[in-house]
Amino acid sequence: MRVMALLLALLTPVGAMAADPEWTPDRWRDEDTLQLHTVDAEGPYDFPVWLVVLDGDLYVRLGSRAARRVEGSTTWPALGVDVGGRHFARVQAESVPAMAEAVNEAMAEKYWSDVFIRFFSHPLTLRLRAE
């Protein structure tokens, strides 16, 4: 039994043994969306949002409904995030109102349809970082 376990350990690729994938926002600069995962009294809820990467940090901006879901999550300020084909079970979300203007400008540069979306309310700007 021990021999089989040792063989299995030796034959398993190193990357497959990593508990969590590496949080590398610069890799996701060209991604269109990421998926946020929240949990509230009604249960789990997942939704896509646009993202931008500024100075090596990943940012999202949320409308009123999404902001309520995120801030009302039982895991707040930790959220689940899927981005770039990777899943992160716990990502730290930090409200950064001082970055709202820079994030809005970056969104406008990245997404052509932001010409319409920017006129909707986005009361919550978040910086997402690995815990």
pLDDT at 120: 61
pLDDT at 15: 39
Query: Where is pLDDT greater, at 123 or 69?
Result: 69
How far apart, in whole angstroms, are the C-alpha atoms of residue 34 and residue 48?
A: 6
pLDDT at 21: 73
Domain regions of the chain by residue span? 21-130
Give the largest Cα separation in the chain, rounded.
63
Residues 38-79: tens digit of each pLDDT: 998 889 999 999 999 999 999 999 989 899 999 999 999 999
pLDDT at 8: 38
pLDDT at 1: 39
Average pLDDT, the chain: 83
- CATH code of domain 21-130: 2.30.110.10
Across the range 34-38, mean pLDDT stands at 97
Q: DSSP labels for 29-92?
A: TT-SEEEEEEEETTEEEEEEEE-EEETTEEEEEE-HHHHHHHHT-TTTTEEEEEETTEEEEEEE
pLDDT at 100: 93
Res. 9: pLDDT tops 90: no
Backbone region of residue 84 per phi and psi (left: phi > 0; alpha: psi in -120 to 50; beta: other values)? left
pTM recorded for the entire structure: 0.80
Q: What value, to the nearest 5°, has the Cα angle with vertex 57 and ends 53 and 61?
A: 65
Res. 121: pLDDT tops 50: yes
